């Protein structure tokens, strides 16, 4: 029974040390002071981290917010380009509509009517001269 307790306590200590190393690697905590004797004993050189100002905290929420703001800026730029495309297309459509209105006015004024082929006159036939039975 005592052997199991010792093995389980040793397992908890190993998992805690592994957690400290992992969180130090992820820059969640700064455990260089705690891990430096261990790294010297193993013979490895400690990993260097970028220096930050004392008043600058590593804040994951601020980084997430910065990423979101960047995404919003990109989206706003895309919306602006789409709006410019729509405005230019709207201008083209308005120009075509104006041309159609002008063509309609010319048609109504008879300018285009003179260009059309003249109609053939209708020939009237009398229905009383027809032979019965046909």
The string of pLDDT tens digits covering residues 10-66 is: 999 999 988 988 888 787 887 777 777 777 777 776 556 556 665 566 677 888 899
More confident residue, 50 or 97: 97
Furthest CA-CA distance within the chain? 133
Mean pLDDT of 84-112: 88
Q: 40 versus 103: which is more confidently predicted?
A: 103
Helix, strand, coil share of the chain (percent; to 5) = 65, 0, 35
Give the mean pLDDT of 110-122: 57
Structural domain spans, the chain: 7-47, 58-116
For 69-86, how does the pLDDT look when each residue is reduced to its tens digit (9 = 90+)? 999 999 999 999 999 999
pLDDT at 67 over 80: yes
Half-sphere exposure of 116 (CA within 13 A, CB side): 8
User: Positive or negative, the Cα torsion across 11, 13, 17, 20?
Assistant: positive
111 pLDDT more than 60: no
């Amino acid at each position: 029974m005592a052997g199991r307790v010792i093995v389980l306590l040793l397992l908890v200590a190993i998992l805690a040390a592994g957690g400290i190393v992992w969180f130090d690697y992820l820059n969640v905590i700064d455990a260089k002071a705690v891990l430096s004797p261990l790294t010297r004993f193993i013979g490895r050189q400690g990993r260097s981290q970028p220096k930050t100002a004392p008043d600058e905290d590593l804040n994951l929420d601020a980084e997430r917010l910065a990423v979101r703001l960047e995404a919003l800026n990109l989206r706003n730029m895309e919306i602006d380009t789409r709006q410019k495309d729509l405005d230019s297309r709207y201008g083209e459509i308005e120009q075509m509509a104006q041309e159609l209105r002008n063509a309609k006015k010319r048609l109504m004024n008879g300018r285009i009517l003179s260009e059309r082929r003249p109609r053939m006159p209708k020939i009237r036939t009398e229905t009383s001269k027809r032979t019965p039975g046909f």
